[in-house]
Amino acid sequence: MCLICVEYNKKRMTREEMRKALPEMVMFAKTEEEKNHFKKLQVLGDSMDEKSLEEFANDYTSNLGKKTR
């Protein structure tokens, strides 16, 4: 799972902190899926549209709860 989304969604991480962490997350992503997820976050983090970023993190986090793992 992606801690960036979880922490951001809980407001324990700011957008600025997220943007600083993301280049490293992209670099060390284990799968292509993960890498694409982080890249998507980078795009959202760089845009001025904070609402889209919040929705993305919120969607991701609520989907986590639905998975039976």
13 binds Zn ion (CB under 5 A): no
18 binds Zn ion (CB under 5 A): no
C-alpha distances (whole Å) from 4 to each of 1, 45, 59 are 9, 12, 13
Least distance (Å) between residue 43 CB and Zn ion:
12
4 binds Zn ion (CB under 5 A): yes
Using CA atoms, how far apart are residues 4 and 57, in angstroms rounded to an integer? Answer: 8
5 binds Zn ion (CB under 5 A): yes
2 binds Zn ion (CB under 5 A): yes
Provide the binding-site residues for Zn ion, judged by CB under 5 A: 2, 4-5
